Chains A and B, each alone.
Chain A
Amino acid sequence: MPDPNRSSHPVHPGRDRVGLGWRGELAAAILTDPESVDVLEVIAEDWLHASRREAAALAALGRVRPLLLHGVSLGLAGSEPVCRRRLDRLARLVERVEPEQWSEHLAFVRAGGIEIGHLAAPPRTEANIAGALANVETASRIVGAMPALENIATLIDPPASVVDEGTWTTAIVEAAGAPMLLDLHNLYANAVNFGTEPAELMHAMPLERVALVHLSGGRWIDARNGQRRLLDDHLHDVPGAVYGLLENLAEAAEQPLTVVIERDGNYPGFAQLLAQVEWARAALARGRARRREAAPWAA
């Protein structure tokens, strides 16, 4: 019986790594040059209904590069218990593919049998924290490994919230004893959309628990009140400010980080994506260098 408090594999690989989200459109490019990335992240929902043969193909990909499984539909922070059937399928997939780690969003995605088709931020209340913790416990028990929990982007400040995003996220991640998947573009978008300093919001997160990092891009959209909002759409390049946050994170965090660049469409040439991988590596290296300068005894 696996220990649900543990990840399926050691989450800290011993060094910083940068990889890409595995998408069908990028598959051939990645397979022709797999050494250009350190890790691959696969969307779990793409494979939940996979046959044994298809799961074997995914496991074969895992022998090319370490795999991370990323869920987008469990709704761990929803108001209802997480769907048992989805968890059973996910557990089967994890068992067959043996990813290094699996992850899911702290989001609300359905209620009363209605799927909202979106990762929404729930009201940040004590009751919601308790519900999310119960869901995380159920998920880790059924899947057999603790998920890394990801912060999400939101265009509206969740109504009826009684705590801020940092406090809410920290409460869940620490009480669950889970690793955190810190999405820096989500964090950046929330900060600029609601008038917070991005670095300040980042430091409100449980940085000592961050094992995985997501980078992505987005675009500015007009909101109703004449203001503008940054939409995290995964269709654009990673902005410079997000690399800056990654650099700050690498300075602040002691543990090795695994960074994944997410791109879900409007794909640039593969060379351009690899350039972003290199920029992320450079940001990590700069942050680590600053950390060594600030505390040479720690290095």
Chain B
Amino acid sequence: MFPFNLAGPPFLWFYGVFGSLLLLAYRYYLGRLGPARPLPVLSQLTGDPYAIAYLRSGRDETVKLALVNLIDRGLLAVSGKTLQGSAKADGDALRRPLDRAILSRCTTLTTVGEALHDGRVRAACDDYDRELRERGLLRSAGEQRRALTGAIAVVALLAGISTARVLQALSHDRHNVLFLIFLTVVGCVAAVQICARTRTRLGRSALTDLRTLLRRLRERINRLAAGGATNEAVLFAAVFGIEALPAQAFPYLRTLFPRSGGTASGGDSGSDSGGDGGGCGSGCGGCGGD
């Protein structure tokens, strides 16, 4: 039975099932990319919550978390929608290059958007990208290339079959092809989205473990206090996003990071988009998150 001999509705069924299976196979293929590695030890991640933020949601979220951390520790002062290093800020005394880069940028009044797009700040985030790829939590460049090749193959197959069918229909003077085009677009978008998830199986596993272990703290969110005495709040925000921090203890969050403020990629909401999508930016076009 040749699919192009099928009538309209049966062909749509065929196309839907074929596309779904193709996407599942692609997803399975991506899950098996890369060498087998032992499961990561969580404390290697929790030692630096910025790495978790990067793994969860990429560069912008990492910078936002660093801003919250520096504000919480009194090293950055908030004035309306701008930030500036406080009198006690001593960038050289800070351990993390990202903290130093941000304080260096915030010697004058700085908006969140300016901090997010600062070259030194972005370069400091690249360290996390490199580190997570080396640990196998984000796809390596080679794995990302293979993921991209796979995405292109899936899109080409879906679009090719669809185009051939549309041409066949038009040659028979049939114009009811909109639903097929809709299915094609949905399939292609799904393939691109799967490709854009740069977290590996290990990365997803580590993040899920952290979410599970910290879930009860999320249910008792008001226990988290501001003041930077411990890293608790920073770790919590790294895992669940800064939006999950209690507004009473962190009142500046709404002003600095309005949900609809359009400050780049924004929070997490449990998405699986992982990393920065940077590796996919080598040619994937819409795959990248940044």
A binding-site residues for B, Cβ under 8 Å: 23-25, 27-29, 31-35, 53-54, 56-58, 60-61, 63-64, 267, 269-271
**Pair B219/A64 contact, Cβ less than 8 Å:** no
| Residues B214 and A54 in contact, CB atoms below 8 Å apart | no
* Nearest CB on A from B162, distance (A): 36
Choose from A24, A33, A56, A271 the contact partner of B215 (Cβ within 8 Å): A24
Partner of A28, one of B206, B219, B235: B235
A61 touches which one: B42, B205, B219, B231 (CB < 8 A)? B42
Say whether B82 faces chain A, with CB atoms less than 8 Å apart.
no
Listed by A's residue number, 16 A-B pairs whose Cβ atoms lie within 8 Å are A24-B215, A27-B216, A28-B232, A28-B235, A31-B42, A31-B46, A32-B49, A32-B231, A33-B231, A54-B212, A57-B208, A61-B209, A63-B42, A270-B230, A270-B232, A271-B230
A32 touches B46 (CB 8 A): yes
Q: Flag if A24 contacts B220 (CB, 8 Å).
A: yes
A54: chain B residues at CB < 8 Å are: 212
- Known A32-B235, A61-B42; 16 more pairs at CB < 8 Å: A25-B220, A27-B213, A28-B217, A28-B233, A28-B235, A31-B42, A31-B214, A32-B49, A34-B46, A56-B205, A57-B209, A57-B210, A57-B213, A58-B213, A63-B42, A64-B43
CB distance from B50 to the nearest CB of A (A): 12
Question: Which residues of B are found within 8 Å of A27, using beta-carbon distances?
Answer: 213-214, 216-217
Whether A53 lies near B212 (C-beta < 8 A) is: yes
Q: Which of B30-44 contact A (CB under 8 A)?
A: 39, 41-43
- B residues 180-226 near A (Cβ < 8 Å) are 205-206, 208-210, 212-217, 219-220, 223-224
Q: Are B46 and A25 within 8 A (Cβ)?
A: no
* Residues of chain A with a CB closer than 8 A to B54's CB: none
Q: When chains A and B are docked, how far (Å) is the Cα of A27 from the Cα of B218?
A: 10
* Chain B interfacial positions (CB closer than 8 Å to A): 39, 41-43, 46-47, 49, 205-206, 208-210, 212-217, 219-220, 223-224, 229-236
B39 engages A60 (CB within 8 Å): yes
Counting chain A CB atoms within 10 Å of each CB, the highest count among B205, B217, B223 belongs to: B217
The CA-CA distance from A58 to B236 in the complex, in Å, is 17
Q: Which residue of B lies closest to A28 (CB)?
A: B232
Would B232 and A24 count as touching, CB distance under 8 A?
A: no
If over half of B's interface residues share one DSSP class (helix, strand or loop), that class is named, otherwise mixed; here it is: helix
Residues on the A chain within 8 Å of B206, using CB: 60
Contact indicator A61/B232 (Cβ below 8 Å): no
Contact between B209 and A56, CB atoms less than 8 A apart? yes
User: Given A34-B46, A64-B41, A64-B42, A25–B212 Cβ distance below 8 Å?
Assistant: no
Determine chain A's interface SS by DSSP, over half rule.
helix
Q: Which residues of chain A come closer than 8 Å to B216, judged between CB atoms?
A: 23-25, 27
Tell me how far the C-beta of B196 lies from the nearest C-beta in chain A, rounded to whole angstroms: 23
Complex contacts, A33 vs chain B, CB 8 Å: 230-231
Q: Which residues of B have CB within 8 Å of A56?
A: 205, 209
Q: Are A34 and B208 in contact (CB under 8 A)?
A: no
* CB < 8 Å neighbour of B209 from A29, A35, A60, A270: A60
CB distance from B79 to the nearest CB of A (A): 29
Q: Complex formed: what's the CA distance from A192 to B212 in Å?
A: 41
Chain B residue contacts of A32, Cβ below 8 A: 46-47, 49, 230-232, 234-235
Query: For the complex, what is the distance from the CA of A24 to the CA of B221, rounded to whole Å?
Result: 11
A27 to B210 alpha-carbon distance, docked (Å): 10
Instruction: Take A31-B213, A57-B208 as given contacts and tell me if A24 and B39 are in contact as well, using a CB distance cutoff of 8 Å.
Output: no
